Amino acid sequence: MSNRFFPVMPSLTTHSLHPENQESPIHFLKKRVIDTPLFYKRNHFPYPLLTHSNYWLPISGSVKKPTIFSLQDIINLPSKTLNVLLECAGNKRHFFEPKTFGEQWEKGAMSQGYWTGVPLRTLLDYSGIEAGAKEVVFEGYDFGTQPELTKMHRYVRSLPLVKALHPDTMIAYEYNEQPIPYKHGYPLRLIVPQWYGMASVKWVKQIIVIDSSFQGPFQTKDYVYYPHKNSNKDSYPVTTMHVNSTIQQPLHMEILRTGIHTIEGIAWTGQGEISKVEISIDNGETWADAKIMKGSKYEWTTWTYEWTVHQQGEYTILSKATDSTERTQPYTAFWNRKGYGYHAMDHITVNIK
Amino acid sequence: MSNRFFPVMPSLTTHSLHPENQESPIHFLKKRVIDTPLFYKRNHFPYPLLTHSNYWLPISGSVKKPTIFSLQDIINLPSKTLNVLLECAGNKRHFFEPKTFGEQWEKGAMSQGYWTGVPLRTLLDYSGIEAGAKEVVFEGYDFGTQPELTKMHRYVRSLPLVKALHPDTMIAYEYNEQPIPYKHGYPLRLIVPQWYGMASVKWVKQIIVIDSSFQGPFQTKDYVYYPHKNSNKDSYPVTTMHVNSTIQQPLHMEILRTGIHTIEGIAWTGQGEISKVEISIDNGETWADAKIMKGSKYEWTTWTYEWTVHQQGEYTILSKATDSTERTQPYTAFWNRKGYGYHAMDHITVNIK
């Protein structure tokens, strides 16, 4: 229905400009690799100003030999390239009931593509790690204030040693075979497959190995699940992505004709791999398996389901993914005060005319 | 908080690609004139392919003398330029409860800017109008099928004679001093101030004066208010815009600090002019007048309200506009099956920390 003279392109959806937060048009992303203009943008602070000509990456702290890498040093090391899905911990926050405060991300605070870089463990092999080391801290160049912070803070996060040393945790310098775009972390971005996106620190300024638990606000105040509205009881940190799925087509509240429709979408998990996607066209009464097309380990899985519908009326369609560790999507999301990790079954309603 | 090296731009929000439906980032439109890249796009069909080199506009039907205008004829006539707000009849459909089918427009299916053209009555003066004439029909070049249509249809709409002859109803050929962008109706677009946007037919192919009531599907099936879910009883056509308002800042579910905040937004109406905008910061218990800054007759009115807040907690903020014909916004929207003309008071919730 389109035509070559007047091409139609989907757009990001703007949630805020200062800092810049825009989500991907997820229903219209049908490729395995998302081009930069459609990659979601999620920032805590204004874009930092780096003096690139003088870029060095220091590793210090509980290391045997503090080490400083130039960009060229890093590029000269053996690299790896992985298609990695990044999903903001606040993805789908909009759908929590009761509503939770913060950016009202719908379903598109996620994107994926090829990241190329050096395994972090390669760099840590140069510096060595002291015996008592517990975590590795990543400091970004971005800093500022927020309503919930009482003073200026840099964006800083840590990883436990076991995740930091995972061979696929990397210091990336390319996205889709180009230098990482500035807004996505140029020149160096930490990429942590399987964890929510807050772990993948942009504009990495320095790496510090510590022998304690890092206590920065983006580790101990934000990116924490608080199951209760008025107390911090039972809280625990946001880490790996939940098993999840999104129906890309048809669209919610779409009007369709009787006949055959392809229901299609994506599924993903931060643990193991997607083993099954089930579809219900009667709001959960009955289920059928979708056909799943696996990609590489850290990509989303695409799926389709051919739906033949003869009867006019309204249908509520659900998608439910299950992963190889037996995790599955609940009907109702696990509510938490800051609205992280929404992963209830996806649902849309269509009207057949 | 932005910086000149990494400019931040808002984006359209994609609702569908075929046909193209994308809404304006209304919360970030702070100018009186919207540039083309941020103007909302609303289509029923694929973009038509016109052979521009051979463009003629015929006026026929119940006229004294059928007349054909070339583009140059039209441009040579005395023109007028008006800043006109266009709002899709489905703007804010997303907020109806119960939900209604169709594009789930949020608050940005509206934009405005300078339209330059010839009053339609100038053209009708050339052709003359027969005594029994009742309506003027506008046929667009765009055509296709839809789930609710049983065959191909062109996009065609009519206006009652009194509205067609209003001196500000025009056949426009420029937007913001440039030829109308192709996707917005090049070379000629009907502009009908004060009516919902469906009246402002794009890519005008021909004009036909008729002595009956036009019965096309976009006049008698779509763009009709159906107050009942399962019957067509009490239905009536969508015409002038309701009195309405939108809070642009702060954003819904935003976290703010105690202190002074400017609540700001826009208000508009299809009848008379905006006479008052009231703000409640306690979910409607008490109201105070916002400061309003009127523009020209067919523009939206901008308004601001300085809010000093000392007490932490959650606040539901409402905006309520009233126009010079005493119409005001209801607390709850007038529900109708196809989801047109939403104009309940706008409301957002913020959390003061």
Q: How far is B288 from chain A (nearest CA, A)?
A: 26
Query: How do residues A150-170 score in pLDDT, each as one tens digit?
Result: 889 999 999 999 999 999 999
Q: What's the pLDDT score for residue A200?
A: 98
Query: What average pLDDT score do residues A120-147 get?
Result: 96
Query: How do residues B95-153 score in pLDDT, each as one tens digit?
Result: 999 999 999 999 999 999 999 999 999 999 999 999 999 999 999 999 999 888 788 99
* pLDDT of B347 over the 90 cut: yes
What are chain B's domains? 13-237 (3.90.420.10), 244-352 (2.60.40.650)
Out of A8, A46, A47, whose CB is closest to B17? Answer: A8
* Residue contact A1–B15, C-beta within 8 A: no
Q: What's the pLDDT score for residue A1?
A: 41
* Alpha helix positions (H), B99-194: 120-127, 161-164
Query: What average pLDDT score do residues B164-189 get?
Result: 97
The chain A residues in contact with chain B (CB within 8 A) are 1-3, 5-6, 8, 10-20, 22, 25, 27-28, 45-47, 49, 99-102, 104, 144, 147-148, 182-183, 251-257, 349, 351, 353
Query: What average pLDDT score do residues B288-303 get?
Result: 97
* Residue contact B13–A17, C-beta within 8 A: no
CA A103 – CA A146 distance, rounded (Å): 13
**Is B341 in a helix, a strand, or coil?**
coil
* CB-CB contact of B290 with B341 (8 Å): no
pLDDT band of B1, cuts 50, 70, 90: very low
Q: What's the pLDDT score for residue A352?
A: 96
* pLDDT of A349 over the 60 cut: yes
CA B334 – CA B228 distance, rounded (Å): 11
B344 vs B52: which has the higher pLDDT: B344
**Is B302 in a helix, a strand, or coil?**
strand
**How high does pLDDT run on average in chain B?**
96
Out of B27, B104, B254, whose CB is closest to A253? Answer: B104
CA B261 – CA B309 distance, rounded (Å): 8
Query: What average pLDDT score do residues A42-56 get?
Result: 86
Query: What average pLDDT score do residues A125-139 get?
Result: 97
pTM for the full model?
A: 0.95
Query: What average pLDDT score do residues A209-238 get?
Result: 97
Q: How far is A106 from chain B (nearest CA, A)?
A: 12
* pLDDT of A188 over the 90 cut: yes
Q: How far is A314 from chain B (nearest CA, A)?
A: 10
Query: What average pLDDT score do residues A228-248 get?
Result: 97
| Dihedral angle over CA of A262, A263, A266, A269, nearest 10 | -130
* Residue contact B18–A8, C-beta within 8 A: yes
Q: What's the pLDDT score for residue A147?
A: 84
pLDDT band of B321, cuts 50, 70, 90: very high
* pLDDT of B5 over the 90 cut: no
* pLDDT of B323 over the 90 cut: yes
**How high does pLDDT run on average in chain A?**
96
Ramachandran sector of residue A81 (left: φ over 0; alpha: ψ -120 to 50; beta: rest): beta
* pLDDT of B8 over the 50 cut: yes
Which of A2, A3, A5, A11 has the most B C-beta neighbours within 10 Å, making it the best mutation to test the interface with B? A11
Query: How do residues A76-98 score in pLDDT, each as one tens digit?
Result: 999 999 999 999 999 999 999 99
Query: What average pLDDT score do residues A14-43 get?
Result: 96
| Token pair belonging to A295 | 């990609």
Tell which residue, B79, B75, B81, B84, has the closest CA to residue B57. Answer: B75
* Residue contact B22–A11, C-beta within 8 A: yes
Q: What's the pLDDT score for residue B4?
A: 65
Amino acid code (one letter) for B122:
T
* pLDDT of A212 over the 70 cut: yes
Residues in B touching A254 (Cβ below 8 Å): 101
CA A149 – CA B244 distance, rounded (Å): 36
Q: What's the pLDDT score for residue A72?
A: 95
Q: Is the peptide bond before A187 cis (omega within 30 degrees of 0)?
A: yes
* CB-CB contact of A23 with B30 (8 Å): no
Q: How far is A149 from chain B (nearest CA, A)?
A: 10
* pLDDT of B160 over the 50 cut: yes
Percent of chain B's residues with pLDDT above 70: 98
Strands A80-87 and A153-160 come out as unpaired
* pLDDT of A213 over the 70 cut: yes
Tell which residue, A222, A64, A61, has the closest CA to residue A149. Answer: A222
Q: What's the pLDDT score for residue B3?
A: 60
Core vs surface per residue B157-180: b (16+ CB within 10 A) or e: bbbebebbbbebbbbbbbbbeeeb
Starting at the edge strand found earlier in the chain, the sheet holding B204-210 runs B67-70, B56-61, B204-210, B135-144, B153-160
* Residue contact B22–A13, C-beta within 8 A: no
* Residue contact B100–A182, C-beta within 8 A: no
* CB-CB contact of B191 with B28 (8 Å): no
CA A144 – CA A8 distance, rounded (Å): 37
Please give the ipTM for the structure prediction. Answer: 0.92
Q: How far is A204 from chain B (nearest CA, A)?
A: 18
| Token pair belonging to A210 | 């510590």
* Residue contact B17–A2, C-beta within 8 A: yes
Q: Phi/psi of residue A198, each to 5°?
A: -60, -20
Strands A301-309 and A291-293 come out as antiparallel
Out of A2, A18, A256, whose CB is closest to B8? Answer: A18
pLDDT band of A123, cuts 50, 70, 90: very high
* pLDDT of B243 over the 70 cut: yes
Query: What average pLDDT score do residues A280-306 get?
Result: 97
For chains A and B, count residue pairs whose Cβ atoms are closer than 8 Å. 105
* Residue contact A11–B8, C-beta within 8 A: no
* pLDDT of A4 over the 70 cut: no
* CB-CB contact of A64 with A127 (8 Å): yes
